[in-house]
Amino acid sequence: MVVQNNIDAIRKIIRIINGAWINNRLEYLNEYFDDNMIIITSDYKKYAEGKEACINSYKHFTESAKTLSYIQGEPVIKYWGNTAVAVYNFEINYEIKGKAFNEKGEDIFVFNRKDEEDNYWKAVWRRVSVFNL
């Protein structure tokens, strides 16, 4: 079943991406981020552009924060040809310099692949919205 295979592949990539930063294994992001990836904030101001800058944004967080817990909701994934969108909610608790933060938010990822025969999706765009509790 091609539809389910693509959805399962994207769901797995999301788990790998989130597992990479949670477990401080950022080298895994190289494989799943497109060279021209962009991460933006909820106000749509560009936050990071290019694979290296996007990975560095994750690195900055992991170096400055201690993640206490992260709960991710089940992604809703839709795809059309070579483009896919995944949306999910999350809740994160972390500390920076001894100060605790509890946040809920929403992640939207856009993925692309070279052609429909290719099941190798890469993240090309991410928007993260965070709401302080």
Q: What distances in angstroms separate CA 128 from CA 42, 43, 91, 109, 121, one per listed residue?
A: 6, 9, 12, 9, 19
Which residue shows structure tokens 């990071």? 48
C-alpha to C-alpha distance for 20 and 126, rounded to whole angstroms: 16
pLDDT of residue 3: 66
Task: Please name the CATH architecture into which domain 2-132 falls.
Answer: Roll (3.10)
Confidence at 53, pLDDT banded by 50, 70, 90: very high
Rounded to 5 degrees, φ, ψ at 74 are: -70, 125
pLDDT of residue 4: 75
Give the start-to-end residue ranges of the domains of the chain: 2-132
The yes-or-no verdict on residue 132 having pLDDT over 70 is: no
The helix-helix angle for 2-22 and 51-64 (nearest 10°) equals 50
Q: Which of 10-24, 29-43, 117-131 has the lowest mean pLDDT?
A: 117-131
Mean pLDDT of the chain: 92
The yes-or-no verdict on residue 1 having pLDDT over 80 is: no
